[in-house]
Chain A
């Protein structure tokens, strides 16, 4: 009788141990996964808060829209991940950082020149940073 109790108790305890191990591993991994995501989201929000753009000028001449936009924030932006929006349509155009050739980095204080060939004069121009901060105005 005594051995029966001991054996069955041992089995139940062993199962409880295994179950706790499984649950702890899943909980720990899940917490780490969500924690990392929150960390990335916080970094993203910080980058967004530190991003600011200034539209220096925009003009349309001879079928080409030209705009100069200065990075007046403190975040370095990726030129290729910026979006040029003209009259609610996305254009690739040509985007170059003034005074720096062959770079895709748009550092704070630098001005980016955007040119887009268009068949007619548009009415609105917008430039959107990779983190969603935008600047725009009438052409």
Chain B
């Protein structure tokens, strides 16, 4: 009779241990998914709030303003999201080629943040032949295309 009780006790403890393990895995897994979901929603909200506009005038001199084969574009933050004034947040594609040597400076500000309403000067070195050209910039998923000719 005592052996039955011991057996029951062992089974009880084993079932509790298994149930606790399942519960732990379940809550940990769901917690990880919840954190990912929360972070993803923050990223999506940032993308939705981000909006930029290229305000350069294609009728003015955009290319080679200082004789050093630089393209200079003025980009205005027209969204609600402050953007770090870091060239790495702006992807630049010039005539289909990725530009990695771009430089971004917020006009009239040195705080390192490109706030809504502020204009940033985007410059990059790119020798261009005479003719039509196309520059695409992407900031937080928001893209703008600027066409000009040299």
Contacts and interface: CB of A to CB of B under 8 A. Distances in A.
Interface stretch (A19-27, A63-71, A93-101, A110-118): A19-27
B24 to A, nearest CB: 8
A9 interface: yes
Contacts of A124: 57, 59-60
A90 B53 CA distance: 14
* Count class of interface residues, chain A: 35 or more
Interface residues of A: mostly helix, strand, loop or mixed? helix
Contacts of A89: 74
Contacts of B56: 85, 88
B78 A130 contact: yes
Contacts of B23: 11-12, 14-15
Interface in B17-38: 18-20, 22-24, 26-27, 29-31, 33-35, 37-38
Interface of B: 8, 11-12, 15-16, 18-20, 22-24, 26-27, 29-31, 33-35, 37-38, 40-42, 44-46, 48-49, 51, 53, 55-57, 59-62, 65, 72, 74, 76, 78-80, 107-108, 116-117, 119, 121
Contacts of A121: none
B72 A132 contact: no
Contact of A131 (B35, B78, B107, B119): B78
Given A3-B12, A15-B27, A83-B119, A22 B34 contact: yes
A8 B72 CA distance: 68
